[in-house]
Amino acid sequence: MPVFDSRSFMDHENVSFFSDAKTGLKAIIAVHSTALGPATGGTRFWDYAAIHKSAPSDVAQTRGEQDAVYDVLRLSRGMSYKNAMAGLRLGGGKSVIIGNPKKLATDEFMQAFGRAVNTLGGAYYAAEDVGTSVPMLEAAATATPYVCGLDSGEHGTGDPSPHTALGVFTGIQASVRHKLGQNDLTGIKVAVQGVGHVGHALVNHLREAGAQVLIADIVDAHIEAVLADGPATVVAPDAIHAADCDVYAPCALGGTLNPKSLPEIQAKIIAGAANNQLETEGVEDEALRKRGILYAPDYVINAGGITAIETEVYKEPKNEAATRTKVLRIGDTLTRIFEASDKEGRPTGVIANEMAERIISAAKEAKLKAAE
């Protein structure tokens, strides 16, 4: 796999590989950019070889490790863009731990990971992601101060989901204003795919604002929890993306916008929390644009959670009011993207990437000048 010339590698400041024979730790930390501040992003713990299990074990391991490198590079660049577009004093980075968390994640193992993070001296701050949990990060935090998104400690910011949900809500309001010319959500039909931490809180905001809500989830208890708070129309999980609605809000998994799902979408707007909604950047967003469907770039609309974490990285006191103000800026940022997309006739995803790259380049240049 070519690394240095791949688009994912583009401009990474540092990629480090770690192993610890005693615990079996195998981890990669990618620092895409520290131009805006310490690179901050989640730690993904994933059994990358499992998907290749039909191959001989050495081949599965090699392919799994290649997938892990690709994943960490792609995700850390994504964090740079997300943090830049949210106007945060944070750069972008990500880490992956290779293996099955259920088999490996003892406190000792996570401490070994904490020591790996510590070697970067604060260039990278680790947070929760797929396969890791707050207790696992608390264990890592016994070996390094460079962990965030914790429940404990003087500056711990706790569960980011309510802030993510508020950001998605304000993003839906901005999208409806732009696309449908309506200043409130009264009577707007929103189909929410996945009512877990973010989706459930989002449904509550939408109901309060007078929207009609359709929901789907593969876990019945999550549906029941939403219905206990108020009314919603329940739709089958495999039909929610194709529901007759104004807004489709993917809040479950990535990759829901793909060549198969696209022709079935009836919504005029796609605006949801899930990461990596487009199967291929610049392809599905262009196809949506051509069909007149407004797409709110996922990493812009779902930045509420990382916005709440910023104070923790800087060891500043938690300030709910200031965080809320910053999260509510997501709507204005999206409006700027939508306007540029209309003017230039190019997909919103591409416009957002270019805006993020400009912010990061300007910060890099300013840093270089200051060092001269």
- Separation CA 202–CA 272 (nearest Å): 9
114 is in an annotated binding site: no
Q: Check if 94 is active-site.
A: yes
Min dist CB 157 to ligand NAD, Å, is 11
Cβ atoms of 202 and 229 closer than 8 Å: no
Min dist CB 162 to ligand NAD, Å, is 8
List strands edge to edge, sheet with 189-193.
Answer: 233-234, 212-216, 189-193, 247-250, 269-270, 294-295
Please choose, out of 14-22, 140-148, 269-277, 343-351, the segment that lies near ligand NAD by the rule CB under 6 A. Answer: 269-277
- Separation CA 226–CA 157 (nearest Å): 25
Size of the site for ligand NAD (CB under 6 A): 24
Beta carbon nearer to ligand NAD, 12 or 163: 163
Q: Does 301 bind ligand NAD (CB under 6 A)?
A: no
Give the list of residues 6+ apart from residue 284 with CB closer than 8 angstroms, or none: 257, 258, 259, 262, 278, 295
- Separation CA 233–CA 215 (nearest Å): 6
Min dist CB 182 to ligand NAD, Å, is 25
Q: Does 331 bind ligand NAD (CB under 6 A)?
A: no
Min dist CB 202 to ligand NAD, Å, is 9
Cβ atoms of 191 and 268 closer than 8 Å: no
Residues 86-125 that bind ligand NAD (CB under 6 A): none
Selected from 16, 275, 335, 361, the binder of ligand NAD by CB under 6 A is 275
Beta carbon nearer to ligand NAD, 143 or 225: 225
Q: Does 252 bind ligand NAD (CB under 6 A)?
A: yes
Min dist CB 161 to ligand NAD, Å, is 4
Nearest to 165 by CA among 41, 350, 356, 324: 324
**Strand-pair category, 14-20 with 25-33:** antiparallel
**Residue 293 carries which side chain, given as an amino acid letter?**
I
Q: Which of 94, 179, 189, 326 is catalytic?
A: 94
The separation between CA 182 and the C-alpha centre of its own chain, rounded to angstroms, equals 28
Q: Does 218 bind ligand NAD (CB under 6 A)?
A: yes
Give the list of residues 6+ apart from residue 342 with CB closer than 8 angstroms, or none: none
198 is in an annotated binding site: yes
Selected from 27, 198, 226, 313, the binder of ligand NAD by CB under 6 A is 198
195 is in an annotated binding site: yes
Q: Does 249 bind ligand NAD (CB under 6 A)?
A: no
The separation between CA 239 and the C-alpha centre of its own chain, rounded to angstroms, equals 24
Please choose, out of 101-109, 133-141, 149-157, 214-222, the segment that lies near ligand NAD by the rule CB under 6 A. Answer: 214-222
CB neighbours of residue 1 within 10 Å: 10
- Separation CA 78–CA 83 (nearest Å): 9
Q: Does 148 bind ligand NAD (CB under 6 A)?
A: no
Beta carbon nearer to ligand NAD, 120 or 226: 226
**Residue 283 carries which side chain, given as an amino acid letter?**
V
- Separation CA 280–CA 258 (nearest Å): 8
Selected from 114, 199, 331, 347, the binder of ligand NAD by CB under 6 A is 199
Please choose, out of 73-81, 144-152, 157-165, 278-286, the segment that lies near ligand NAD by the rule CB under 6 A. Answer: 157-165
Cβ atoms of 25 and 109 closer than 8 Å: yes
- The residues that touch ligand NAD, with contacts defined as CB under 6 A, are 160-161, 164, 193-199, 216-219, 222, 237, 251-253, 273-275, 302, 305
Binding residues for NAD(+), as ranges, are 194-199
User: What amino acid positions are annotated as catalytic residues?
Assistant: 94
